[in-house]
Amino acid sequence: MTPTTIADAGRRLRSGEVTSVELLDSALAVAARTEAQLHAFLTIDRDQARETADRADADLAAGKDRGPLHGIPIALKDNMTTRGLETTAASQILSGYVPPYNATVVDRLAEGGAVLVGKTNLDEFAMGSSTENSAYGTSYNPWDITRVPGGSSGGSAAAVAAGSALGALGSDTGGSIRQPASLCGVVGMKPTYGTVSRYGLIAFASSLDQIGPLTRTIEDSALVLSTVWGHDPLDATSYPGELPDIMSGFGRGVDGMKIGVVKELSGEGYEPQVESAVSAMVENLAASGAEIVEVSLPSFDIALSAYYLIAPAEASANLARFDGIRYGHRAAGDTTESLMSRTRAEGFGPEVVRRILLGTYALSAGYYDAFYGQAQRVRAAIQEDFARAYGQVDALVSPTSPTVAFAAGARTDDPLAMYLSDICTIPSNLSGHPAISVPIGLDDQGLPIGFQVMASALAEDVMFQVAEEVERLAGFDKTPSLAEVAS
Amino acid sequence: MNWEPVIGIEVHVELMTESKMFCGCAVEFGAEPNTNICPTCLGLPGALPVPNRKAIESIMAIGLALNCEVMPRSVFHRKNYFYADLPKNYQISQFDVPVCVNGYLDIEVDGDTRRVSLERAHMEEDTGKSTHIGEGGRIHSATSTLLDFNRSGVPLVEIVSRPDIYSAAEARAYASGLRAVVAELGVSDARLEEGSIRFDANISIRPRGDETLGTKVEIKNMNSFRSLERAVDYEIQRQIEVVESGGEVVMETRHWDEESGVTRSMRTKEGSSDYRYFMDPDLAPMAMSPQWIDEVRATLPELPGDRLQRYIEGGLEPALAGVLSGSNKEMRDLHDSAVAEGADTREAANWVTGEVTSWARRHGSEDSEIPLTGADLAGLLRLIGEGTVSSSAAKEVLDGVLGGEGSPAEVARSRDLIQITDTSVLESAVDDVLAHNPKAVADYSSGEHKIVGFLVGQVMAATQGKADPRAVNELIRSRLDGS
C-alpha cells in the first residue's frame, strides 16, 4: 500500500521501499480516477512533475537529501506564481497568463526537492468559502461529491483528502486554509503573519494573506511549514527574527497547559453535532491534564464586519492592476479607458466585482472614517482582546467552521450566509496569529468536523503541541470513500 | 484694483539612486525601452515592493538641507487612480505622514533676501512613460500608445512649498535655488531639460491686503527657469484680466505653451480627485531614528547659501563671491586651497574665475580636473606680489604650469619671464634709451609728459619685457625731473 503521509513516505523513500516516481504515479492515478468528480486541479503538469521526481530519486540515490519534502508530491493553490506554468487565481482575467517568475514558496519547495503535482482550484482571487467562485468550475468534496470542499483553498483540501497529493499549500486571508481543511477532514494551518513570504502570492488582502500547509497529519503540517517559512528579503512584511522550534512540543501532551474555550464562537448558527464534537474534545483535553477555562473576546462579534471592510478595501487596490494592458485577458476598446473597463467587466466574476465595489466605497472620501477607519479600530480591539486572552491561557480553541460541508449551490445566492462560514477563522487573520484546524471526527452524515487551535504570535510550537494532542485524542484515521475506491 | 499674486510650487526630483524605489532594477536615463524592468515595477501579479534605503537617505538629506524636520516615523500610502502607464493602477506615495515637514529656503530677489516656507517633502515612485502615436502626439488624436516602463518605480521626491511666493521673479529664484541645493547634494541629475527635476506652480490672485486665498490654477510644462518665470507672469496677468473683465477664475490645470507664450486649459478639476489613499499594507512604517538622521546630516556638503556667506565673510565683495560660489567644485576647491596656502582671497578668486576658468573652457575641461594645485596658484600670486614676474608674464607662467611644464617658479625661469629687479641693470637700460632719444627728452621738458609711455615702451623692448614697467616709469620720471 502506498504511503498516505509525508512522514511515512519520507521514511520509505529513504529505506528504498518506494521511489519518488512511484509516489507521483500513485498521486496521478488518484487524480485520474477522481478529478472528473472533484475537479480539485486547474493544471496538472505531468511531464515536469515526472522530471522532478526522477531527479529526486537520482539525488537521493547519490546521497543528496534535500529535506523532509524530498521526492514528495505536493499540490499548489493556483494563486502562487510558477515560472513557465499557467497561473490564473481561478480568474478569467488571468486566463492563459504564464508568469516569468516563481513565488518564494515555489522556489523553497523546489530547493526542498518537492515534486509539484499541479495547481489547485480556488475561489477567484481567493474570494469565497466554497470554491464555487472559480471561473473554471466548482470543486467538490471527496466525502460527498454533492457538497462543497470549502474555500477558498478548496482544491488543495480536496486533493489532499483524496490522496492526489500528500500535501498542499493554500493561502488563508479569512480562513481559506482552515475552513476547507475542516470541511474535507484534513489538517490546515495558517502561520503567524510574516513568517511565510508572500512574494509571488497573488494578493487578495495584503495585511491578512498568509500561505500555509494542508496535510493529512500534524507532523506533516510541521514538515511542510519548516520547508517554506523563514525570512525573505523580497517581502517587506516578512519577519526577520528567529522562528520557534515547531517540533519541540510533539509528544509532550497538554498536561499543565491552560486552554481557553472562546465563548463567542458557539451558539446560534453552530450545528449541534459540531458543537458536541468540539465539547467532547475539550473534555478529553481536560482529561489529558489541561486546565480549561472559558474566555470571552467580545470584539469577535464584530470581527466579521470589520473583515468585510478591510479585506475588500485592500483588494480594491490589489486588483486594480488587472487592466488588460500588460498581461492576461484583454477586451477590445476604442480608448484606453474603454479597453480597461471592458477588460475588467468581462474578466472578473460577480463575487470579485462585489468586493471591489465594497472596498472602493469603504475607502471613498467622506466614508473612509466611518468604514475603513472604524474597521481598523475594531481590528485593534481584536488584537487587544487576544492579547488579554493570551495573558491568561496558552492556547484558544473553537470549532473551525460552524457547520460541516454544505451542499453545492446552497449559499451561492446568499453572500451573507457564505461570509458566516468564516466567523471562527477571521479573528486570527485580523490579529496575525497562528491557527490550525484538526479533523476530530465525522457527523452522522459521514462529514468531517474540524477543531481549531489558536495561539499567540510566533507560538506555533504551543499551537502544534496542543494540536498534536487533539489529533492523538481524536484518533481520526478515516479517508473519504472516493479515496478508498481509488486505492 | 491692486492684485496680489500668491504662488505655491511643487517640485518633483528624480533621484539618481543605482536602483529603483521598490525593486533592484537600474535607474538609467535613455536606455532602450522596457529593458530596466522586473515583476515589481511592471506590477505583475504577486510581486511586492521593498523600499530602497538609499532613496530614503536621499530624501532625508534633501529635507535636512531645506531645514525640514525629519519625522521619526513615516508611512507609505497607496494613491489610487487608473492610468495605462501606472502598472499597479495605484502609485506608492505618501499622504499624511511624509518623511520631511516644515522647512524653508532663503532666496534673493533684487538684492533682498526672503525666506520661502516649505510644507513637506515626500517620497514616491515615478510612473512609466506613454508615447502617443498619431496626429499631433496628443492622447485624443492618437491611434496607438507605446508604453515604456523603464521609468516606472524610479524614486521621486516631491517638495511642496507653502503659498508663500508673491511674484514670477520670486518663483524663478525659488526654483533655481532649490535646484542648486539638490544638485549640490548630488542626489539627482537635477536637469530640467531631461525632466529629472520638474516644477509645477499653483497660482491665485487676491486683492492686496486680503488674507483668504483666491481660486488656484495649476500650471505645468515649464522646461527652464525662464519659461517658469514667463508662465507665472502670463498666468498672473491672465487671471487679473479674467477677474477685471467680470469673470471668475476656474480651478483647473493649464499647460504652458512655450512657443506661443500662453497657458492653455488641460482639464478642469471639479473639486479634488478622490485618490482613496490608504496605508500600503505591503510596506511597514519606516522609523527614522535620531542616530540615522545624524548620520545623514554628517554627510551633507556645504550648501550654496552657506558657501556664499562664507566667501563674503572671507573678504570677497558679493558680486565676485557670487561668481565664485556659482563656479564648479573644481574651481571653488582651487580657490579655497590657494587661500589655505596663503593666497589673498580676492586675487585667488579673480584668477580662478578669470584666467583659470577661461583656460578650462578653451581646453574643454570645465568639469574635469584642472592640472593646477592651490599651492601652484598661491606660488604664482606670490611671484607677482614679490615683483618676480609681471602680471602679464604671469599669464604665460600660468599657461606653462597648466601645460605641465613645472611649478610657477620653474616655468618663470625656464621661459625667461623673471622681471629684472637689479637696479643697476635697469638704470643702465634707462640711461641708454634716454641717450638715444633726445627729442623725446626735449618734448618732456617742454611739458609733453605723455611721452613717458613711449620711453617706457623703449626700455621694455630693450629688456625683452622683463623689466617691471612700474619701476621703469618711476625711474624715467625721476631721471627727467631731476635733470
Q: What is the CATH number of the domain that holds A245?
A: 3.90.1300.10
- Say which range, A194-198, B58-62, B415-419, has the weakest mean pLDDT: B415-419
A169 Cβ contact list (under 8 Å, min separation 6): A74, A75, A76, A77, A80, A105, A109, A156, A211, A212, A213, A214, A224, A228
Q: What CATH number has the domain bearing residue B451?
A: 1.10.10.410
Inform me whether the C-beta atom of residue B44 falls under 8 Å from chain A C-beta atoms: yes
Whole-number Å distance between alpha carbons of B42 and B125: 12
Contacts of A316 in chain B (CB under 8 A): 80, 276
**Does A127 fall in a domain?**
yes
- Is the model's pLDDT at A486 over the cut of 50? no
Contacts of A206 in chain B (CB under 8 A): 281-282
- Is the model's pLDDT at B125 over the cut of 80? yes
- Is the model's pLDDT at B432 over the cut of 60? yes
Instruction: Evaluate the CA torsion angle B95, B97, B100, B104 in order and state its sign.
Output: positive
Contacts of B80 in chain A (CB under 8 A): 316-317, 320, 363
pLDDT, position A483:
58
Q: What number of CA atoms fall less than 13 Å from residue B400's CA on the CB side?
A: 19
Convert the pLDDT of each residue in A56-96 to its tens digit. 999 999 999 999 999 999 999 999 999 999 999 999 999 99
Band of pLDDT at residue B269, cut at 50, 70 and 90: low
Task: Respond yes or no: is residue A248 known to be catalytic.
Answer: no
Residue of B152, B282, B286 to mutate for A, most A C-beta atoms under 10 A? B282
Band of pLDDT at residue B419, cut at 50, 70 and 90: confident
Whole-number Å distance between alpha carbons of A331 and A345: 9
**Does B400 fall in a domain?**
no
Please give the full DSSP string across A114-178, using - where no structure is assigned: -EEEEEE--SGGG--SSSTT-TT----BTTBTTB---SSSHHHHHHHHHTS-SEEEEEESSSTTH
> Mean pLDDT across the stretch A434-450?
98
Q: How many helices (H) and strands (E) does chain A have?
A: 16, 11
Decide which of A369 and A81 is more confident.
Answer: A81
Mean pLDDT, chain B, as a whole number? 91
Tell me what percent of the residues of chain A surpass a pLDDT of 70: 99
Residues B48, A363: C-beta atoms closer than 8 Å = no
Return the DSSP state at A401: S
Band of pLDDT at residue B108, cut at 50, 70 and 90: confident
Query: Do B291 and B308 sit in the same domain of this protein?
Result: no
Distance, in angstroms, between B179 CA and closest chain A CA?
33
- Is the model's pLDDT at B30 over the cut of 60? yes
Band of pLDDT at residue A225, cut at 50, 70 and 90: very high
Task: Respond yes or no: is residue A226 known to be catalytic.
Answer: no
pLDDT, position B112:
87
- The residues of A whose Cβ lies within 8 A of any Cβ of B are 79-81, 87, 89, 94, 97, 99-101, 103, 198-203, 205-207, 233-237, 313-314, 316-317, 320-323, 325-327, 336-337, 340, 360, 363-365, 368, 372
Other CB atoms within 10 Å distance of the CB of residue A273? 17
**Does A370 fall in a domain?**
no
- Is the model's pLDDT at B427 over the cut of 90? no
**Does A385 fall in a domain?**
no
> In whole angstroms, how large is the CA radius of gyration of chain A?
21
Query: Do B158 and B92 sit in the same domain of this protein?
Result: yes
Query: Do B229 and B366 sit in the same domain of this protein?
Result: no
Inform me whether the C-beta atom of residue B90 falls under 8 Å from chain A C-beta atoms: yes
Query: Do B203 and B342 sit in the same domain of this protein?
Result: no
Residues B43, A326: C-beta atoms closer than 8 Å = yes
Contacts of A106 in chain B (CB under 8 A): none
- Is the model's pLDDT at A44 over the cut of 70? yes
Edge-to-edge order in the sheet of strand B278-279: B90-93, B77-80, B278-279
Whole-number Å distance between alpha carbons of A479 and B7: 74
C-alpha cell at B127: 510612473
pLDDT, position A487:
42
- Say which range, A185-194, A242-251, B384-393, has the weakest mean pLDDT: B384-393
Taking a C-beta distance cutoff of 8 angstroms, is the pair A125, A90 a contact? yes
C-alpha cell at B480: 627727467
pLDDT, position B388:
85
> Mean pLDDT across the stretch A158-186?
98
Q: What total number of domains does chain B contain? A: 3
Nearest-by-CA chain A residue for B92: A317
Query: Do B367 and B429 sit in the same domain of this protein?
Result: no
> Mean pLDDT across the stretch B170-192?
94
pLDDT, position B447:
86
Whole-number Å distance between alpha carbons of A38 and A146: 10
Nearest-by-CA chain B residue for A341: B82
Residues B45, A234: C-beta atoms closer than 8 Å = no
Residues B90, A314: C-beta atoms closer than 8 Å = no
Contacts of A340 in chain B (CB under 8 A): 82, 84
**Does A57 fall in a domain?**
yes
Phi then psi for A213, rounded to 5 degrees?
-90, 150
**Does B241 fall in a domain?**
yes
Other CB atoms within 10 Å distance of the CB of residue A331? 16
Runs of H (alpha helix) within A332-373? 336-347, 350-362
Query: Do B250 and B290 sit in the same domain of this protein?
Result: yes
Residues A320, B49: C-beta atoms closer than 8 Å = no
Band of pLDDT at residue B403, cut at 50, 70 and 90: confident
Q: Which of B44, B87, B284 sits opposite A237 (nearest CB)?
A: B284
Band of pLDDT at residue B272, cut at 50, 70 and 90: low
Convert the pLDDT of each residue in B358-377 to its tens digit. 888 888 766 667 889 999 99
> Mean pLDDT across the stretch B65-94?
97
pLDDT, position B367:
61
Whole-number Å distance between alpha carbons of A253 and A261: 18
The CA-CA-CA angle for residues B286, B291, B295, to 5°, reads 100
Residues B90, A87: C-beta atoms closer than 8 Å = no
Convert the pLDDT of each residue in B36-45 to its tens digit. 999 999 999 9
Query: Do B122 and B184 sit in the same domain of this protein?
Result: yes
Task: Respond yes or no: is residue A176 known to be catalytic.
Answer: yes
Q: Which of A164, A176, A421, A431 is the catalytic position? A: A176
> Three-state DSSP class for B286?
strand
Whether this model's ipTM surpasses 0.85 comes out as yes
**The domain boundary residue, chosen from B365, B390, B415:** B390
Residues B46, A320: C-beta atoms closer than 8 Å = no
Ramachandran sector of residue B170 (left: φ over 0; alpha: ψ -120 to 50; beta: rest): alpha
Whole-number Å distance between alpha carbons of A167 and A187: 10
**Does A284 fall in a domain?**
no
Residues B51, A236: C-beta atoms closer than 8 Å = yes
Contacts of B47 in chain A (CB under 8 A): 101, 199-200
Nearest-by-CA chain B residue for A363: B276
The 3-state DSSP composition of chain B as helix, strand, coil percent (nearest 5) reads 40, 20, 40
* Amino acid letter, residue A131: T
End-to-end CA distance of chain B: 78
**The domain boundary residue, chosen from B243, B265, B296:** B296
Band of pLDDT at residue B466, cut at 50, 70 and 90: confident
Whole-number Å distance between alpha carbons of B123 and B153: 11
C-alpha cell at A359: 472596498
Give the residue among A39, A44, A6, A2 at the shortest CA–CA distance from A22. Answer: A2
Distance, in angstroms, between B26 CA and closest chain A CA?
17
CA-to-CA dists, residue B324 to A335, B104, B179, B327, B355, angstroms: 54, 24, 18, 5, 13
| Contact pairs from chain A to chain B, CB under 8 Å | 103
Give the residue among A484, A470, A396, A406 at the shortest CA–CA distance from A440. Answer: A470
Residues B88, A320: C-beta atoms closer than 8 Å = yes
pLDDT, position B391:
80
Query: Do B92 and B155 sit in the same domain of this protein?
Result: yes
Q: What residues make up the domain containing A115?
A: 6-253+436-486
pLDDT, position A398:
98
Query: Do B186 and B287 sit in the same domain of this protein?
Result: yes
Residue B429, beta-bridge partner list: none
**Does A293 fall in a domain?**
no
C-alpha cell at B397: 607662467
**Does A403 fall in a domain?**
no
> Mean pLDDT across the stretch B177-186?
94
Taking a C-beta distance cutoff of 8 angstroms, is the pair B238, B256 a contact? no
Measured N-to-C along each axis, helices B329-340 and B318-325 cross at an angle, to the nearest 10 degrees, of 120
Query: Do B153 and B273 sit in the same domain of this protein?
Result: yes
Q: What residues make up the domain containing B110?
A: 3-296
Q: Rounded to two decimals, what is the model's pTM?
A: 0.88
Whole-number Å distance between alpha carbons of A478 and A470: 15
Residues B274, A365: C-beta atoms closer than 8 Å = yes
Distance, in angstroms, between A486 CA and closest chain B CA?
36
The CA-CA-CA angle for residues A421, A424, A429, to 5°, reads 105
Distance, in angstroms, between B289 CA and closest chain A CA?
19
Interface of B with A in 262-281 (CB under 8 A): 274, 276-278, 281
Inform me whether the C-beta atom of residue B88 falls under 8 Å from chain A C-beta atoms: yes
- Is the model's pLDDT at A485 over the cut of 50? no
Taking a C-beta distance cutoff of 8 angstroms, is the pair A404, A443 a contact? yes
Q: Which of A89, A100, A323 sits opposite B82 (nearest CB)?
A: A323
Taking a C-beta distance cutoff of 8 angstroms, is the pair B59, B121 a contact? yes
Taking a C-beta distance cutoff of 8 angstroms, is the pair A399, A452 a contact? yes
**Does A356 fall in a domain?**
no
C-alpha cell at B63: 529635507
Query: Do B373 and B454 sit in the same domain of this protein?
Result: no
Phi then psi for A57, rounded to 5 degrees?
-65, -45
Nearest-by-CA chain B residue for A364: B276
Query: Do B52 and B137 sit in the same domain of this protein?
Result: yes
Distance, in angstroms, between A232 CA and closest chain B CA?
11
Return the DSSP state at B132: E
Q: What total number of domains does chain A contain? A: 1
Q: Which of B48, B87, B88 sits opposite A235 (nearest CB)?
A: B48
Tell me what percent of the residues of chain B surpass a pLDDT of 70: 96
**The domain boundary residue, chosen from B276, B296, B316:** B296
Inform me whether the C-beta atom of residue B51 falls under 8 Å from chain A C-beta atoms: yes
